[in-house]
Amino acid sequence: MTHPAIPPCSGIILAGGLSSRFGGRNKALVEWKGRPLLAHIRQAFGDLFQEIILVTNAPGAFAAWDMTLVTDLFTERSSLTGIHAGLFYANHPLAFVTACDTPLLQPALIRMLLDAARDDIDVVIPKTEKGLEPLCAVYSQRCLEPITHRLRQGDYRIRSFFRKARVRHVPEPQLRRCDPDLRSFYNINTSEDLAQVRQQFPTVTDREDPHTNGGVPS
């Protein structure tokens, strides 16, 4: 099947959290199926993006990875400060944002969200029966101004700037066409989550990426 061309776009991975529920270990480097969680995200990205940005407050831990490393511009750590930093440093006006703890992210779902992006839309975000999924969404750099305003107000909720942006929701039935069991939104925060994902998705196999080996340093 031939897909329409995706406009130049950045892929942004957020890895700036404290990982307190993993005993202080850097969650992006916790291994699942023999590889760091970050490697699974990198493989899901494939060749969709012209650049891949990793937002981290521990850049030394990722020096060997083939990604652009940036740090938060605001001192308070949050997902919104990470989105802000990624968009600020991105070389393209459009970016897909995800977290480092979603190893089941599906490339087909990423592509569908990118295909839904338009010049007159600032945010393309999945919406399931559980609510919005802001860490698996497409953001325009036009979001920088309202995000900056909210951060300066001390409001670190991602959705806090949505009323100042043009937001497009992608409904669950449409999402399930690309990701039938919505595994893209499953995030791993604890060792128990790792065990649960093995039980819930026992048939998941590693993706093959002949170009990057998942971005794992050799």
Q: CA 11, CA 212: separation in Å to the nearest integer?
A: 15
Inside any domain, residue 216:
no
Q: Say if residue 216 is exposed, middle or buried (CB neighbours under 10 Å; 0-12, 13-18, 19+).
A: middle
Residue 20: per-residue pLDDT: 56
Q: ∠ at Cα 196 (189, 52), nearest 5°?
A: 45
Inside any domain, residue 215:
no
Inside any domain, residue 33:
yes
Inside any domain, residue 1:
no
0.85 surpassed by pTM: yes
- Residue 152, domain extent: 10-203
Inside any domain, residue 141:
yes
Residues 6+ apart with CB under 8 A from 107: 44, 45, 46, 48, 207
| pLDDT surpassing 70 at residue 194 | yes
Inside any domain, residue 180:
yes
Q: What is the domain-level CATH number for residue 77?
A: 3.90.550.10
Mind listing the pLDDT tens digit for each residue in 29-85?
988 888 999 999 999 999 999 999 999 999 999 999 999 999 999 999 899 999 999
Inside any domain, residue 191:
yes
- Looking at the 3D structure of the chain, how many domains does it have? 1
Backbone region of residue 40 per phi and psi (left: phi > 0; alpha: psi in -120 to 50; beta: other values):
alpha
Inside any domain, residue 214:
no
